[in-house]
Amino acid sequence: MTSEKHVIDLTEAAAFRVKEMQQHNEEEGAFLRVAVHGGGCSGLSYGMNFDKSQSDDDFVDEQHGLKILVSREDAPILMGTKIDYKQSLMGGGFTIDNPNAIASCGCGTSFRTAKIEGTPEVCE
């Protein structure tokens, strides 16, 4: 299923880093799947991985030469999310800005929304 509107907004810097990772892992041409899983300190966690195939229930998007998949179930939670990649002297990493998150954990990967609390876990 192709989306008319982007579910997520992937910056050029993030796309460049994902392409580097695809090449390093010999995953050129694979989809980037962006997902939400239960767990984490706040109840939900983000996930990104490479996927060789898409499902009929996936929204498919292409940004900066990358094909992106988001499941129909995760799309409302991720709608409007911006994924960026920042590099500094201390290292680099992906940043996720989700306008639907009403609470998040200091780790930056765990969150909850007004409608979905998920399954919070104890932080260690």
First-to-last alpha carbon distance for the chain, in angstroms, is 39
pLDDT at residue 124, as a whole number: 57
Q: What is the DSSP letter of 23?
A: H
Q: pTM for the full model?
A: 0.84
pLDDT at position 38: 84
pLDDT in tens, 13-59: 999 999 999 999 999 999 999 999 887 777 888 999 999 999 999 99
Q: How far apart are CA 77 and CA 18, in angstroms?
A: 22
pLDDT at position 90 is 80
Residue 1 has pLDDT above 70, yes or no: no
Q: Give 70-86 pLDDT, tens digit per residue.
A: 999 999 999 999 999 99
Write down all domains in the chain, each with its CATH number in brackets. Answer: 8-113 (2.60.300.12)
Q: Which residue has the higher pLDDT, 89 or 27?
A: 27
- Tokens found for residue 57: 């229930």
Model pLDDT, residue 121: 63
Q: Which residues have CB under 8 Å from 50's CB, separation 6+?
A: 22, 25, 27, 30, 31, 32, 33
CB 84, CB 17: distance < 8 Å:
no
55 DSSP 8-state letter: -
